């Protein structure tokens, strides 16, 4: 039973924003630094690897469609080890959010508002992020849809106006230093995408069977945008300048002067800020949900405010100066990411198979229900419950999955007693839902129904 629904297209758009987030500004410089003029090849390769990793996540999530990443962890490896690992995952997401906020502050402080202390920018950005997550992932998804077209248009303008100034010969000689720099660079790029964060959102997608396709579409579009940006950086600025400029694509935007007077570099900053905001919001959502699930708290919203203060603190402490950042991010952060982005999912899949065979684990405590009973129960609850539309959809999905896989793959069914339906408050205002969390089935069988209390 998930309350907040993200449409399939919204997922795609979220992924695109996520991919553009930090990468569009920092990646070209890093790519050029390692792979020199072959940076564009490395970019494409990195994106391909990301796309492949989606299949990995899909394999994991398909078995537990209603669980977030932390939920899946706890089901597969057991409660206590699971909580430990979930805590680490939380740390990863938390760190990620802090990084993003800090990088945003750095960029603005360097290029746009040089006299403003970074903290001021960070606080404002953080306030918006916290508020956004407070409104829920659904709201964030809708906002991303709205803000998507400006981003696309601005990117298109970038490409269009730079075409006349681009010199493809700057991309030669190809493969001058062999494939190794390209592979290394692609590896760095791939880990920096951090797409695994979306595993925290999988349960929220309205049509789980379409999740994989949505993610792939998003990755492809985001990847193309990123590759185009990198390629143009190399073609227009040349390898040396791309390496040299920390915010290479911003320098690229500075070169555009429409009719000799219109300067569009501010637009680039806007695109980037929007994309970064969504990346940070999703990461923060993931972090809050991860922490809430680990601690067994049902409403992740409770945590977002104090957690915000901690993010503020961390974002300042996380690195002293930009050189640290540049040295740390590709090398060490990428290895840290690998743990969560590749190693963990793979391990989970393996353990999952070993432990539970063909049926995913963690049947609810009130199990002993056979498959036939479940639809009946569902029907009962459907009738009784304050209708959100969730239930029927739940059932449809359940049927679908049951048909596909022959499993009773639901972890978090409405197995509770109606007596617990506390709020008759029928403000069906989905936009302001207060969300109830679904804890993994193995340790919780009581799921209070969604309280639809609008945030006042």
Residues from 92 through 121 that contact another protein (CB under 8 A): 95, 110-117, 120
Closest approach of another protein to the CB of residue 77, in Å: 21
* Cα atoms in the 13 Å half-sphere on the side-chain side of 434: 18
Considering only the stretches 75-83, 125-133, 194-202, 378-386, report the one whose residues sit in contact with another protein under the rule CB under 8 A: 125-133
- Whose Cβ is closer to another protein: residue 205's or residue 437's? 437
Contacts with 445 (C-beta within 8 Å, 6 or more apart), sequence order: 364, 365, 366, 415, 416
Considering only the stretches 11-19, 124-132, 363-371, 377-385, report the one whose residues sit in contact with another protein under the rule CB under 8 A: 124-132
Residue 317 engages another protein in binding (rule: CB under 8 A): yes
- Exposed, middle or buried by CB within 10 Å (0-12, 13-18, 19+), for 224? middle
Closest approach of another protein to the CB of residue 34, in Å: 6
Closest approach of another protein to the CB of residue 168, in Å: 11
Chain residues 164-193 in contact with another protein, contact rule CB under 8 A? 169, 172-173, 176-178, 180-181, 183-185, 187
Spatial CA neighbour of 36 closest among 223, 177, 228: 177
Considering only the stretches 47-55, 202-210, 250-258, 371-379, report the one whose residues sit in contact with another protein under the rule CB under 8 A: 250-258
- Exposed, middle or buried by CB within 10 Å (0-12, 13-18, 19+), for 179? middle
Spatial CA neighbour of 123 closest among 109, 136, 111: 109
* Rounded-to-integer distance, Cα 219 and Cα 213, Å: 10
Considering only the stretches 17-25, 306-314, 380-388, 405-413, report the one whose residues sit in contact with another protein under the rule CB under 8 A: 306-314
Chain residues 428-447 in contact with another protein, contact rule CB under 8 A? 434
- 257, 387, 418, 428: which one contacts another protein (CB under 8 A)? 257
- Whose Cβ is closer to another protein: residue 4's or residue 352's? 4
Closest approach of another protein to the CB of residue 128, in Å: 7
- 9, 142, 210, 255: which one contacts another protein (CB under 8 A)? 255
- 163, 258, 266, 305: which one contacts another protein (CB under 8 A)? 305
Question: Is-contact 70 433, C-beta < 8 A?
Answer: no
- Whose Cβ is closer to another protein: residue 14's or residue 237's? 237
DSSP string, 66-92: T--HHHHHHHHH-HHHHHHHHHHHHHH
Residues that bind another protein (rule: CB under 8 A) add up to a total of 76
Residue 258 engages another protein in binding (rule: CB under 8 A): no
- Whose Cβ is closer to another protein: residue 125's or residue 205's? 125
For the chain, percent helix, then strand, then coil, each to nearest 5? 75, 0, 25
DSSP string, 313-382: HHHHHS-SSHHHHHHHIIIIIHHHHHIIIIIHHHHHHHHHHHHHTTS-S---TT----TTHHHHHHHHHH
Chain residues 135-164 in contact with another protein, contact rule CB under 8 A? none
Chain residues 333-352 in contact with another protein, contact rule CB under 8 A? 333-336
Residues written for the chain: 456
Closest approach of another protein to the CB of residue 445, in Å: 16
Considering only the stretches 19-27, 219-227, 270-278, 295-303, report the one whose residues sit in contact with another protein under the rule CB under 8 A: 295-303
CB atoms within 10 A of CB 59: 15
Spatial CA neighbour of 137 closest among 19, 300, 293: 300
- Cα separations in angstroms, 44 against 49, 221, 222, 226, 418: 9, 12, 11, 9, 53
- Whose Cβ is closer to another protein: residue 92's or residue 278's? 92
Tell me which residue has tokens 């409104």: 135
Residue 87 engages another protein in binding (rule: CB under 8 A): no
Tell me which residue has tokens 């002067």: 257
Chain residues 32-51 in contact with another protein, contact rule CB under 8 A? 34
* Rounded-to-integer distance, Cα 209 and Cα 66, Å: 12
Closest approach of another protein to the CB of residue 403, in Å: 35
Considering only the stretches 64-72, 195-203, 234-242, 365-373, report the one whose residues sit in contact with another protein under the rule CB under 8 A: 234-242
Residue 90 engages another protein in binding (rule: CB under 8 A): no
Binding-residue pattern over the window 394 to 433 for another protein, x denoting contact by CB under 8 A: ----------------------------xx-x--------
Closest approach of another protein to the CB of residue 443, in Å: 13
Residue 297 engages another protein in binding (rule: CB under 8 A): yes
């Amino acid at each position: 039973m998930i309350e907040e629904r993200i449409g399939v297209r919204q997922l795609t758009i979220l992924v695109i924003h996520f991919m553009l987030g930090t990468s569009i500004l920092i990646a070209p410089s890093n790519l050029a630094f390692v792979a020199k003029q072959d940076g564009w090849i490395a970019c494409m390769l990195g994106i391909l690897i990301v796309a492949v990793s989606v299949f990995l996540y899909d394999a994991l999530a398909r078995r537990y469609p209603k669980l977030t990443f932390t939920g899946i962890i706890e089901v597969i490896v057991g409660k206590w080890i699971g909580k430990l690992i979930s805590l680490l995952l939380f740390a990863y997401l938390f760190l990620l959010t802090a990084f993003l906020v800090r990088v945003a502050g750095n960029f603005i402080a360097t290029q746009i508002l040089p006299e403003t202390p970074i903290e001021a920018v960070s606080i404002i950005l953080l306030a918006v992020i916290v508020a956004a997550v407070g409104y829920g992932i659904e709201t964030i998804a809708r906002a991303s849809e709205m803000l998507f077209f400006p981003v696309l248009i601005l990117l298109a303008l970038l490409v269009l106006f730079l075409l006349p100034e681009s010199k493809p010969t700057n991309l030669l000689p190809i493969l001058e230093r062999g494939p190794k720099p390209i592979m290394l660079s692609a590896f760095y790029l791939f880990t920096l995408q951090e797409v695994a964060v979306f595993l925290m959102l999988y349960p929220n997608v309205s049509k789980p069977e379409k999740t994989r396709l949505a993610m792939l579409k998003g990755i492809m579009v985001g990847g193309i945008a990123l590759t185009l940006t990198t390629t143009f950086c190399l073609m227009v600025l040349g390898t040396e300048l791309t390496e040299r400029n920390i915010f290479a694509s911003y320098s690229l935007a500075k070169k555009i002067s429409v009719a000799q007077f219109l300067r569009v570099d501010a637009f680039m900053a806007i695109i980037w800020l929007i994309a970064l905001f969504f990346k940070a919001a999703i990461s923060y959502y993931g972090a809050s949900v991860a922490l809430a699930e680990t601690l067994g708290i049902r409403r992740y919203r409770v945590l977002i405010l104090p957690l915000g203060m901690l993010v503020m603190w961390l974002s300042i402490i996380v690195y002293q100066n930009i050189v640290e950042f540049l040295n740390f991010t590709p090398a060490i952060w990428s290895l840290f990411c690998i743990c969560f982005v590749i190693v963990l999912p793979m391990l989970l899949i393996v353990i999952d198979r070993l432990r539970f065979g063909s049926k995913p684990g963690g049947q609810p405590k009130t199990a002993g229900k056979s498959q036939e009973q479940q639809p009946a129960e569902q029907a009962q609850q459907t009738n009784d419950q304050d209708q959100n539309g969730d239930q029927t959809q739940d059932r449809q999905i359940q049927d679908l999955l049951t048909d596909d896989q022959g499993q009773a793959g639901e972890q978090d069914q409405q197995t509770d007693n109606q007596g617990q339906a506390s709020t008759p408050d029928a403000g069906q205002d989905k936009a302001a839902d207060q969300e109830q969390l679904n804890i993994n089935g193995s340790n919780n069988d009581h799921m209070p129904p969604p309280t639809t209390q609008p945030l006042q």
